[in-house]
Amino acid sequence: MKKQELKQLIKQELEEAVVAEHDKAKVLKAMLKAGSNKAEAQALLKKHYAYVDKKYADSPASKKKQKSLLHSQVLHPKQTSKK
C-alpha cells in the first residue's frame, strides 16, 4: 500500500468517525427533546447506539432515537411490583 493510499484511508476513517459522533449528538438531542433524563439517555446511547447505528444506518436521528428506546425496553423491561 502506497503512502498516499494510506493517507486517504486514514482521512476517510476520521471523517466517518466525526459524522458518527455528530449523528450520535443528534440522537441524544432528540431523546432529550422527547423528555428523557440526560443521564439515562447517555447511558442508553452508550449501550445501544452501536447496534442501532449499524442496523439503521440510513435512518434519521429521530428514527434512531425510537429504535434505541425500543431496543432498551425489549432487552431491559422495567420491573413493576404488583401489590
Q: Is residue 74 part of a domain?
A: no
Q: Is residue 33 part of a domain?
A: yes
Q: Is residue 41 part of a domain?
A: yes
Question: Which range of residues forms the domain containing residue 16?
Answer: 3-66
Q: Is residue 78 part of a domain?
A: no
Q: Is residue 44 part of a domain?
A: yes
Q: Is residue 77 part of a domain?
A: no
Encode pLDDT of 40-77 as tens digits.
Answer: 888 888 888 888 888 888 888 888 888 887 777 766 66
pTM for the complete prediction? 0.60
What's the domain count of the chain? Answer: 1
The b-or-e profile of 28-57 (16+ CB within 10 A means b, else e) is bebbeeeebeeeebbebbeebbeebbeeee
Q: Would you state the pLDDT for residue 75?
A: 64
Q: Is residue 60 part of a domain?
A: yes
Question: Which residues are CB-contacts of 56 (< 8 A; sequence separation ≥ 6)?
Answer: 63, 64, 67
Q: Which amino acid is at 60?
A: P
